[in-house]
Amino acid sequence: MFSLGGKQAVITGGGSGIGKAISQLFARQGATVHIIELNETAASDAVKEIQETGGKAFAYGGDVTNQDQMVDVFHRITEVDILVNNAGIAHVGNLENTSASDFDRIYSVNVKGAYNCFYAAIPLMKSRKGGVILSMASIAALVGITDRFAYSTSKGAIYAMSLSVARDYMQYNIRSNTISPARVHTPFVDGFISKNYPGREEEMFQKLSQSQPIGRMAQPAEIAALALYLCSDEASFITGCDYPIDGGFIKLNN
């Protein structure tokens, strides 16, 4: 079960955090993994780790905000069975302290970046008479979270775009779903804590962990396991759905 043998999988932001965990798991399950990263070093390092364990992977430098770049990269890959729209950035702030440049930056990476990859991948999937697209939304798309105005907006857009693609391309055997994680323990979280709470890292890590009803953050591998299921043939009846993976945050946080 959950074999990706013979599949060509493109993962944006696949060189670190959740994206890296997905890249590694997909490669272990037999996919040829294509990592697109703004940070080419991170992409190359992730590819090297995959290759050292017998997997097939390739690295591509690219900026998801640039449509021409993405179309060029996807044409170089030539065959795409799976796209994971994972690349994204965060922002902390409410409406009043989110500047126009902050908002534009979040929109450009999180929303336009995913759109550019949809745009590049769909024609290739149509030519192969099928495909799977999985996009990273967030619990911030589904519930109100303090000081996440721009970020929540972008993740709500991801959810809506995924639904639209699922509806429009169902006839081509293309599935489109989203995952909505709560807080996941990635290098980004550690960097955020050390930057904003110097000297209080352990205290703040515990506080953020306890904000999940289950009492801890998710691990990237746990998100990757759900991604594997949704991109596998075992999930062939699933499209137009969002899957919260949140340690009880949405339903039990009261």
What domains can you pick out in the chain, each with its CATH number? 8-182+220-246 (3.40.50.720), 184-217 (no CATH)
Token pair 């999985």: residue? 134
Residues in the chain: 254
State the catalytic residue, choosing from 60, 115, 119, 151: 151
The pLDDT assigned to 187 comes to: 86
Residue 88 pLDDT = 94
pLDDT at 118: 98
163 C-beta neighbours (distance < 10 Å), count: 17
CB 25 within 8 A of CB 49: no
Please name which of 242, 79, 34, 44 lies closest in space to residue 157, comparing C-alpha atoms: 242
Alpha carbon distances (Å) from 167 to 83, 153, 230: 17, 22, 17
pLDDT per position as a tens digit, 105-140: 999 999 999 999 999 999 999 999 999 999 999 999
Which stretches in the chain have pLDDT values below 50? none
What is the rounded distance in angstroms from the CA atom of residue 158 to the CA atom of residue 15? 21
pLDDT on residue 195: 84
Active site residue 172: no
Q: Is the pTM of this model over 0.85?
A: yes
pLDDT at 188: 83
Query: For 205, phi and psi rounded to 5 degrees?
Result: -60, -45
Give the per-residue pLDDT at 43.
96
Distances (CA, A) of 10 to 36, 54, 128: 7, 18, 15
